[in-house]
Structure 1
Amino acid sequence: MTSVARGQRVIGSATHYVENQPPVRTGLDEFELNLPLREAVEAFGGGWANDDLHEAGVLVGSSSFQRDATLANVHGPVASAHDRWGFRLDEVEYDPSYHRILSDAVARGAHTSAWADPRPGAAVARAAMFMLFAQVEPGHSCPVSMTHAAVASIRDSPWVADDWLPRMYSRSYEPRLVPNEEKSSALIGMAMTEKQGGSDVRASTTVATSMGGHSYQITGHKWFCSAPMSDGFLVLAQTRRGNEDEGLSCLFVPRLLPRGMRNVFRIQRLKDKLGNRSNASAEVEFDGTVGLVVGEPGRGVRTIIEMVQRTRLDCVLGAAAGMRQSVAEAVWHARGRSAFGSKLVDLPAMTSVLADLALETEAATLTGLRLAQMYEADAHDHDLALRRLATPVAKYWVTKRGPQHAYEAMECLGGNGYTESFPLARRYREQPVLSIWEGSGNVIALDVLRALSRDTESGAAFAAELETTAGVSRALDAHVARTLRLLDDVAAAGPDHAQAQARRLSESLALALQGSLMLRHAPSLHAEAFIGARLGEDRAASYGVLPRGTDAAAVVARH
């Protein structure tokens, strides 16, 4: 070293060099790198969309898209109840990055492409597109999902569908509140939950009085309104025609009335949420708000249930997409960093954790895309029956696995993972919403019981699905036998016992389905490792404990 006289200023001296850190994970084709997703898309009939999915994979893997994902979460939405002169404004302003992300997703049909072009495999292709975007920025997925799902509730009400479905199918995106006559596209939100009811939507106190025909005036408060700057909303309210109470009905509330007049839609405040920061959720007041009934008056739950089923599907897809981000970032870090004389990825303890996380991700991906296949426009009777049970089963289990999965992946990055400069801190905060939204654990587990009791064909279809892999794995066969015995036990029990066993049953059904899917579609050694880790005699509660003899390095290499 060169000696320096006291007080002499040293220019350009470095205190340290940055070494042993992986580069930023960017400039990649996220679809190309996700082999389990590519194989599942092909297996379930969506392979014709590969070119579009590769193009989207390059987009979401770009540094510009990832930068927008960061900005949209750092600079969250802001509500303005009034303008500077005190007039009601009721608008939410988003960072421009959020609009760019939404525009990209809509342009590629992540919302309604399966409805707009219902060819074979369309639901699977749309699911994969949705997952690619949700993998990098999950908040925008809320209005994308609701727009997709709302079609199911609106399409049989032509007084709404004829005007709105063409706009919902559009691949353009216009964020401004401009008159409907001038706007060729639309996104849809929903407002169901009330503070006194929560998941019990029948406890709604919002009322809607008939104005004649299909029109009603709505008065009430909604505790959660998702994506409040959408162009229209599905709302539940107790409807009344004259002196007759019709019961709980579903209404479509446009944000703007004809000729650009603003409907009464008072945004009280935005929710300060743990995650999902880029997307706004609001408390709203209706006071003489105009809405159009969809479906039959008094049959609101029946009208909304198909939308709910599809948003639950998207919760599964979103959780699987989050797992993919977690695994991708963890493996990338482990391949680019050394410790104790070896790459992290080559250290057996780390390899086992990464492999276990990867197996969970593949099982979730297969579950999500197989579930999407059940929603194809040409789905056969088996899939129609199966989806009524498989949807709550998958929603219960896959979304519940998400938070712990994200935590374990975050730990693979050590201190870096715990900082907001890396995406896994955001992912860790994001995953719980997918378990809570559209029915938290108990609600979904009770829906599993409801599906079994009200639709015996769904249970038979589930058993038939599992039968396709009977005899392939002794561990899975034993688990399926235990699950079927549990089914019989629950069916014969009283309601209190059945409810107490609802979570156990839901978990058992989910693991049986995932094990069967892995046997059918994953490499056999990987399927055996998954089944052994989840159902085998030496299974463990924590990630990273795999059956003896598992080739963990091969599992990681696949991901």
Structure 2
Amino acid sequence: MDIAEHATALHATHKVLNQPPPLVNYNVFTQDVTLAECVRREGADWAETRLTDLGAVVGSEEVIGWGQEANAFGPVLRTHDRYGQRIDEVTFHPSWHALLQMAVQHGAHALSWQHEQPQGNHVARAATFYLCTQAEAGHGCPISMTHAAYPVLRVYPETTAPWLPLLTTNTYDPGLRPPQEKQGLLCGMGMTEKQGGSDVRANTTRARPVAGYHGEPAYVLTGHKWFCSAPMCDLFLVLAQAPGGLTCFLMPRILPDGTRNNFFLQRLKDKLGNRSNASSEVEFVDAWAVRLGKEGRGVRTIIEMVNCTRLDCVLGTAALMRQGVAQAIHHAAYREAFGRRLLEQPLMRNVLADLAIESDAATILAFRLARACDRSHSDGHESFIQRLGTAIAKYWVTKRGPQLAAEALECLGGNGYVEESGMPRIYREMPVNSVWEGSGNVICLDVLRSMGKDPQTLDTFLAEIARGHGADQRLDRASARFQQDIVRMAAEEREWQARRLVERMALLWQGTLLVQHAHPAVADAFCASRLAEESGHAFGTLPTGIDVDPILARARPTI
């Protein structure tokens, strides 16, 4: 035996067996039965071809690699250039830019506002965002904020005209340059401060009106922001204290004359997840901005933006749920233990089916909200559903996300705990959607406030869940108990019980949507495990008698 043969023999200690093939080069849209049904049902069937094309891109080995690289090689802050001049720039791995180009090219940032069709534009955009998130979630931050900022900015065209048209082009044009030199813009935001967090009325950043400087109504802002997301965006929505109170402003990174604004990056956040995306602390020193809306009405000005970003929290979580379930079922379909494939073993089937049900419920609820966005301006019921329903879904779906991710990860065993599997990234990403745009308590109090201000809000919700009446006795009983409890509760008890109330509302609504639209096996399993008086708490506690085969068949991706 020569030296080469001897070396080969030394290293040939085993063959790699009993491992699933990588889940790559599959169509993330067409392999998701529930998503495709939602798109058709909620009025965006015209977008199926473009979503099919995007699904093939997102599921490709190349794009999956972009997601891994963008997180392995995170953003780097450069405060100064080599000569000592302040530049305040963030550099990214090329994969980050490739992901953003993919998302912008397919309209994930603007399809709702491009009005390509008479109906379903929000639904088509929601599906686009849902697919892009499964490639990599962090790049969805500037995409989501750009999408959410547009309906605020278009209300003030006389002020935002230099920037507005460039926010809806399908061209990704990175780099800090004057807007007139760019083919597309992205928008970030700076709302929260160290001392206030969700309580933005505690902000201390000050805005001073100035005259004759690049246009009106102009101000200069001085202060800090504890979280300024996506600092390499071209524009930012910012809250600051004007003489008349908390006010909303639009702040560009590059001023109309081509000079840089006084927008200084202090550091990038070292975050649990969302690592591909740069979140920063920023200082303003007489930074120029234009006012949006009246002084003192900052929160009211940005309220539509809040609804849009909260919906994206739901969509983003639902997308990550779907990817976690797809990975878990794919693994179980190939992996053998104790003489059988995992997918054939009763207890694992219980776990996987339970995860698939949760994923379906989150997705169907998210797209019901997208339909409400499409119709809210012409339908009173849909308008109430958009406002109240988005908060309900945001609370519950984002709370369930981390639990599902942990269980899906466990389905892969030790392999799932390894970074290369992609499951740790999904797990780390989940909590951000619960924290972003209002943590759990803030959201639940918003729900109570909405119901307290206008009795029609609760009536609209009850009318929504009445659509499932008679389809399942467990749903009917749970609905009746909720209506009795909500009526008898005093205001003080409602606040104490706010999380429980919103959880019950979410489960009732998901159950109502599932009995109307989901596969009968999914609806039955949901009502049996989430609405029955005796049900388990962990995933994998479905009761006996559930028809698991169609649930798993619908959820399993194929390559």
TM-score above 0.5: yes
2:172 partner amino acid: Y
1:379 CA drift (Å): 4.7
Matched, 1:69 2:72: no
1:469 CA drift (Å): 1.0
Structure 2 residue runs of 5 or longer lacking an equivalent are none
2:525 corresponds, among 509, 529, 535, to 529
2:146 partner amino acid: T
Write out aligned runs for 1:295-310 (5 A).
295-310=293-308
Q: Residue 489 of structure 1 aligns with which residue? A: 488
- 8 Å CA contact 1:208–1:216 kept in 2: the answer is yes
1:229 corresponds, among 229, 232, 235, to 232
Q: 2: CA distance between counterparts of 1:363 and 1:8?
A: 57
1:515 corresponds, among 511, 516, 529, to 511
Q: Residue 333 of structure 2 aligns with which residue? A: 335
Q: Residue 469 of structure 1 aligns with which residue? A: 468
1:339 CA drift (Å): 1.1
Q: 1: CA distance between counterparts of 2:480 and 2:52?
A: 41
1:319 partner amino acid: T
Q: Residue 264 of structure 1 aligns with which residue? A: 262
Q: Residue 243 of structure 1 aligns with which residue? A: none
Q: What's the CA shift string for 1:54-108, capped at 9, x where partnerless?
A: 0000000000000000000000001111112221110111111000000000000
Q: 1: CA distance between counterparts of 2:136 and 2:265?
A: 25
Write out aligned runs for 1:108-257 (5 A).
108-117=106-115, 119-212=118-211, 213-240=216-243, 246-257=244-255
Q: 1: CA distance between counterparts of 2:49 and 2:550?
A: 27
Write out aligned runs for 1:80-119 (5 A).
80-117=78-115, 119=118
* Deviates further, 467-476 or 359-368: 467-476
Write out aligned runs for 1:391-430 (5 A).
391-430=390-429
1:481 CA drift (Å): 1.3
Q: 2: CA distance between counterparts of 1:520 and 1:79?
A: 50
* Deviates further, 144-153 or 112-121: 112-121
Q: 2: CA distance between counterparts of 1:235 and 1:425?
A: 33
2:541 corresponds, among 515, 538, 545, to 545
Q: What is the number of equivalent residue pairs in this alignment?
A: 547
Q: What's the CA shift string for 1:251-298, capped at 9, x where partnerless?
A: 000010023210011000000000000001000000000010112221
1:141 partner amino acid: G
Write out aligned runs for 1:444-455 (5 A).
444-455=443-454
2:374 is paired with a residue whose SS is: coil
Q: What's the CA shift string for 1:458-477, capped at 9, x where partnerless?
A: 21111111111111111111
- 8 Å CA contact 1:373–1:379 kept in 2: the answer is no
- 8 Å CA contact 1:486–1:505 kept in 2: the answer is no
- 8 Å CA contact 1:180–1:259 kept in 2: the answer is no
2:473 partner amino acid: R
1:253 partner amino acid: M
1:181 CA drift (Å): 1.2
Q: 2: CA distance between counterparts of 1:35 and 1:158?
A: 41
1:294 corresponds, among 287, 292, 295, to 292
Q: 1: CA distance between counterparts of 2:80 and 2:41?
A: 52
Distance 1:325 1:159, change over 3 A: same
Write out aligned runs for 1:38-53 (5 A).
38-53=36-51
Q: Give me the identity figure in percent.
A: 50
1:85 is paired with a residue whose SS is: coil
Structure 1 residue runs of 5 or longer lacking an equivalent are 241-245
1:288 is paired with a residue whose SS is: strand
Runs of 4+ in structure 1 deviating by more than 6 angstroms, as ranges, are none
1:254 partner amino acid: P
1:487 CA drift (Å): 2.0
Q: What's the CA shift string for 1:388-415, capped at 9, x where partnerless?
A: 1101100000000000100000000000
Distance 1:497 1:27, change over 3 A: same
- 8 Å CA contact 2:357–2:551 kept in 1: the answer is yes
- 8 Å CA contact 1:134–1:321 kept in 2: the answer is yes
1:234 is paired with a residue whose SS is: strand
Q: 1: CA distance between counterparts of 2:533 and 2:447?
A: 27
Q: 2: CA distance between counterparts of 1:163 and 1:546?
A: 56
Matched, 1:505 2:501: yes
1:482 CA drift (Å): 1.7
Q: 2: CA distance between counterparts of 1:71 and 1:188?
A: 24
1:460 partner amino acid: D
Q: Residue 35 of structure 2 aligns with which residue? A: 37
Q: Residue 28 of structure 1 aligns with which residue? A: 26
1:553 CA drift (Å): 2.5
Q: What's the CA shift string for 1:419-476, capped at 9, x where partnerless?
A: 1001111000000000011111101010110111123222111111111111111111
1:548 CA drift (Å): 1.5
Q: 1: CA distance between counterparts of 2:29 and 2:38?
A: 12
Q: 2: CA distance between counterparts of 1:214 and 1:365?
A: 42
- 8 Å CA contact 2:162–2:179 kept in 1: the answer is no
- 8 Å CA contact 1:107–1:171 kept in 2: the answer is yes
- 8 Å CA contact 1:189–1:225 kept in 2: the answer is yes
1:557 partner amino acid: A
1:182 partner amino acid: E
2:248 is paired with a residue whose SS is: strand
1:545 CA drift (Å): 0.9
Q: 2: CA distance between counterparts of 1:456 and 1:151?
A: 30
**TM-score normalised to the size of structure 1?**
0.96
1:363 is paired with a residue whose SS is: helix
**TM-score normalised to the size of structure 2?**
0.96
Quote the RMSD (CA, aligned, Å). Answer: 1.4
